[in-house]
Amino acid sequence: MRALLVLAVLAGLAAIPVAAQGRTPLPETMDIGDEPGRVSTPETVIKEGPYARQMVFFRSNDPPKTVVISTSDRFLYVVMGNNRALRYGIGVGREGFQWAGLQKVTRKAEWPDWTPPPEMIQRQPYLPRFMAGGPGNPMGARALYLGSTVYRIHGTNQPETIGQAISSGCFRLANGDVIDLFERVSVGAKVVIRHGPQV
């Protein structure tokens, strides 16, 4: 009977979190929400709320098919002309990884491969050095490459992160939305990235 009681106590201790047992917990391995291997279907779209794809009033002097990204508002706009734009909800760079500038779409890819740049590997050494394109790839269903930078507009296998500041500087859309964007925007299109409210 005493042996059973000792076993029960030991089993109870095993169920207590490591930190509660007085030991240092293991470090988080995916601290910015990247989940290589997680699968999100290509038809996933944001259907409700402010981040759902929709036509909006948008005053701009840029020509149609220009992409305008507002990192502070978490929106990407495709200028349609006549003071209209198609607006998509996006995920943006976390604090310290947000940026602004003028770029062009230099390349487009379906189900792109992912090769994290050296600076990302240095910060997060647990990441894979290469991951082939597919539903489990964090780059999602499509990618639009921005100039000669390491940044892209791409899909995501984590649609719940749309509207958040979580990436390392790229702009992510739900897979269904990035597929729609991919069909509308051509290589050579102007991309305006704004950080901070528009005045």
Residue 92 CA to residue 195 CA, distance in Å, equals: 10
Residue 141 CA to residue 135 CA, distance in Å, equals: 7
Residue 88: how many CB atoms within 10 A of its CB?
27
* Structure tokens given for 78: 């495709």
Residue 54 CA to residue 109 CA, distance in Å, equals: 24
- What's at 120, amino acid-wise? M
Taking CA atoms, 15 is separated from 5, 27, 122, 194, in Å, by 16, 19, 34, 48
- What's at 104, amino acid-wise? K
- Interior/surface letters 101-127, b for 16+ CB within 10 angstroms, e for the rest: eebebeebbebbebebeeebeeeeeeb
Q: What is the pLDDT of residue 3?
A: 44
What domains are there in the chain, each with its CATH number?
37-194 (2.40.440.10)
The dihedral built from the CA positions of residue 71, 75, 80 and 83, taken in this order, carries a sign that is negative
What is the mean predicted confidence (pLDDT) over 86-104? 94
* Weakest-pLDDT range from 11-20, 79-88, 123-132: 11-20
CB 162 within 8 A of CB 76: no
What is the tens place of the pLDDT at every residue in 106-136? 999 999 998 888 888 898 888 888 888 888 8
Predicted TM-score of the model (pTM): 0.77
Residue with the larger pLDDT of the pair 7 and 121: 121
H or E element in which residue 80 lies: strand 75-81
Q: What is the pLDDT of residue 42?
A: 61
Share of the chain above pLDDT 70, in %: 76
* Structure tokens given for 17: 């979190």
What is the tens place of the pLDDT at every residue in 122-179? 988 888 888 888 888 889 999 999 999 999 999 998 899 999 998 889 999 999 999 9
Average pLDDT of the residues of the chain? 81
